[in-house]
Amino acid sequence: MGASCKLKNGFFVLIVLTCCSLAHGQLTAATNAGKPPNTLTCSPAPCALPNVQVDDLTYGGEPGALVPNPNSTNEMVLAAHDANCFSDQGFYSTADGGSTWSAHSCILSNNPGGQPIVGYDLNNRVFGGGSDDLAAILLRYSDNNGVHWSRSRVVDASPFGVLSPQITVDTSLFSPFENSIYVYSVHGGVSGLATRVVVSHSSDGGKHWKAVPLDQWQIPNWDSFPRLSVGEDGTLYATWLRCDRPQGGFCVKDAVPILLSKSVDGGMSWTPPSVIATTNLAPGNCLYGCLPNARLVLGVPNDPVNAVVGSGATAGVYVVFYNWTGTQMQVEVVTSTDGGKTFGSPVPVSNSNVGDQFLSWISAAPDGTIAVSWMDRRNDPANAMYQPFLATSVDGLHFNPSWQLSSQLSDPNAWGLIIVETVPSLWVGNAVYSTWTDTRSGLPRPELGGVQF
């Protein structure tokens, strides 16, 4: 179990670029969409899945994005902030529903610390990449579940900088923009303080790209953490945070607006951004707020991740984020039942008022059930160590009792000086898979678990 490319103590980390870019055998694509994965199961359902350590390489890593092959519930690719890669962009793949992770590769770029991205289309092609030198986004593809990769190509760039890249692929069979690829990021913030969210899209499998900004340049406001999902009809929903940074300092922590913009023409044009909710950031001298009760000063992100159920004027749009109550970081969901036109009040996903909740994610099943995952400190009396939790809902207003996905507590201080990513989760067949940064081995490593229903 774990990645097959191993290092010996004393080898320079750059060795990984040679070792881990080699092929590890051909994977055969399966065609069992809608069925449960073959091997990673539990019983009787519903039940928490066993935990799987994704890598056993010399150095640690943090999960950044997890995507399944829409044609095969057994094939998934995980993108990670990977200390085994000079670029910090590593990719792991599984062909047996997450039980084992058989391939590891590194993306080559000029800038260590670039953010990794990954997405799957309906043609069994996975796209992986990330930021390069904080100035461009590189993307490559694989037709065998991330074992072999094409050469990288630039799909977006800005002389003012590119931050927080993400990718979404339209895999709806009812969409007129089926298989379109959307790579989105924050432009600016590196050379100068002005920022804005930009979505670059391709409708021909990544051969040609067009970048469209979602708003004007913002200053002293700071656009951050863009997330994008696709409705059944191909409508795009983009959400992001906009904080006020007086004199380029830390964000004002109170009543930070969360914005939404939509596109109904495949990303060619976007509606003017509207505020759908406000949130309070955790206090502290970090750009977006600091994780409380950490030995180190740890900045923590607050990505307003969204999920869409249905289409048109009756689409359900769900957005998750954390809110600082004054004593607790509390994960909340805000819901729209009219395609994002109006939203109700935020609703907590858990009735626990003990321990901070952070790094939340939301995903939707084909039947409309949504799942929210997050990191939770309720089981540590010192409110320092965390565990992954998950809860489901059919309406975004009432949540079922939450599931604890791991019995192990993890130490956020093992992450370093900043927590760089939210914690992705997704529906695969009748299960919700979740990944998180686990420190039980002594290093931060990507761990996989979830709930089977």
Both tokens of residue 84? 């085994």
Q: Work out the average pLDDT over 428-444.
A: 93
Q: What confidence tier does 37 reach under pLDDT thresholds 50, 70, 90?
A: low
Distance CA 403, CA 259 (A): 30
Task: Say if residue 435's pLDDT is above 90.
Answer: yes
Whether residue 16 is predicted with pLDDT greater than 70 in this model: the reply is no
pLDDT in tens, 96-154: 999 999 889 987 766 666 789 999 999 999 999 998 888 999 999 999 999 999 999 99
Residue 27 scores a pLDDT above 50: no
Contact between 432 and 426 under an 8 Å Cβ cutoff? The reply is yes
Residue whose token pair is 């070792």? 19
Residue 441 exposed, middle or buried by CB count within 10 Å (0-12, 13-18, 19+): middle
Cα dihedral sign for 266, 434, 393, 274?
A: negative
pLDDT tier at 192, thresholds 50, 70, 90: confident
> How much is the mean pLDDT over the chain?
89
Contact call for residues 348 and 341 (beta carbons, < 8 A): no
Predicted confidence at residue 346, as pLDDT, reads 98
Phi/psi for 341 (5° steps) reads: -70, -45
Confidence class for position 241, pLDDT limits 50, 70, 90:
very high
Name the nearest CA neighbour of 359 among 395, 333, 384, 388: 388
Q: Which CATH number fits domain 280-453: 3.40.50.300, 2.120.10.10, 2.40.50.140, 3.90.650.10?
A: 2.120.10.10
More confident residue, 304 or 442: 304
Closest by Cα among 125, 71, 75 to 97: 75
Residue 427 pLDDT grade (very low, low, confident, very high; cuts 50, 70, 90) = very high
User: Per-residue pLDDT tens for 325-384?
Assistant: 999 999 999 999 999 999 999 999 999 999 999 999 999 999 999 999 999 999 999 999
Q: What is the value of pTM for the model shown?
A: 0.90
Could you state, in order of their start, the residue ranges of all structural domains in the chain? 280-453
Q: What does the pLDDT read at residue 417?
A: 60
Question: pLDDT tens, 277-323?
Answer: 999 999 999 999 999 999 888 999 999 999 999 999 999 999 999 99
Q: What is the pLDDT of residue 191?
A: 85
Looking from the CA of 380 toward its CB, the CA atoms found within 13 Å total 21
Whether 85 has a pLDDT exceeding 60, the answer reads yes
